[in-house]
């Protein structure tokens, strides 16, 4: 982990810190904080206990993100509070790596997932959760919940374009997870 954080911040620099005050707010998605763009996306990704277990493992081991063509660097094999990671999107010189820290996890009988928060150097400020739930009828539902606002000049400049891109990425994650469950 120290190696990863050193590579994210460089030698002699302070360890990146969380960039927002409402840490953990995605745990109760009904009451997301004001002053941020809110994102909620839900998709059915399978049915039954086996599908739930597969989906939960894919979410909490970064497999879903990697299968969606994001590059994930982390010294931890799975999500746990305090784990730091960098998620990189894009290609070539347009690839942007964003530093995050896992804020909370859920490893429950019918609910599995985690949330990460933005660290210094992230182009957005806020938190995003990725949760898989096994509903009473056996439906396996994947939900992305987030609150964010621009933190860099280019995301401020992007203004109204950024929320649709975030929604598109949430939909991509849902489709990717559905494919992983079916495979």
Residue at 112 is within a domain = yes
Q: Return the H-helix or E-strand segment holding 37.
A: strand 37-47
**Residue 106 contacts residue 85 (beta carbons within 8 Å):** no
Residue at 90 is within a domain = yes
Residue at 26 is within a domain = no
Count of structural domains within the chain? 1
DSSP-derived secondary structure letter, 133: E
Q: What is the pLDDT along the chain (183 residues), one digit of tens a residue?
A: 444 444 444 444 567 899 999 999 999 888 899 999 999 999 999 999 999 999 999 999 999 999 999 999 998 999 999 999 999 877 777 777 889 999 999 999 999 999 999 999 898 999 999 999 999 999 999 999 999 998 888 888 888 888 898 999 999 999 999 999 998
Distance CA 160, CA 153 (A): 14
What is the domain extent for residue 120?
A: 2-9+35-182
The two tokens of residue 49 are 């206990």
Residue at 28 is within a domain = no
Domain CATH for 88: 3.30.530.20
Beta bridge partners of 126: 148
DSSP-derived secondary structure letter, 119: B
Beta bridge partners of 86: 73, 99
Give the three-class secondary structure for 115: strand
**Residue 84, pLDDT score:** 96
Residue at 16 is within a domain = no
């Amino acid at each position: 982990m120290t190696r990863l954080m050193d590579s994210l911040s460089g030698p002699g620099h302070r360890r990146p810190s969380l960039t927002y005050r409402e840490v953990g707010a995605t745990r109760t998605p009904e009451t997301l904080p004001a002053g941020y763009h809110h994102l909620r996306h839900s998709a059915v990704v399978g049915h039954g206990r086996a599908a739930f277990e597969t989906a939960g493992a894919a979410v909490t081991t970064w497999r879903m993100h990697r299968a969606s063509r994001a590059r994930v660097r982390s010294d931890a094999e799975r999500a746990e509070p305090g784990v730091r990671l960098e998620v990189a999107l894009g290609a070539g010189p347009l690839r942007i790596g964003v530093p995050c820290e896992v804020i909370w996890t859920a490893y429950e009988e019918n609910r599995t997932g985690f949330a990460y928060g933005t660290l210094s150097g992230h182009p957005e400020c806020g938190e995003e959760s990725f949760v898989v739930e096994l509903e009473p009828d056996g439906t396996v539902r994947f939900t992305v919940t987030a609150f964010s606002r621009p933190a860099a000049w280019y995301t401020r400049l992007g203004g109204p374009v950024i929320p649709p891109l975030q929604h598109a990425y949430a939909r991509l994650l849902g489709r990717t997870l559905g494919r992983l469950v079916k495979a």
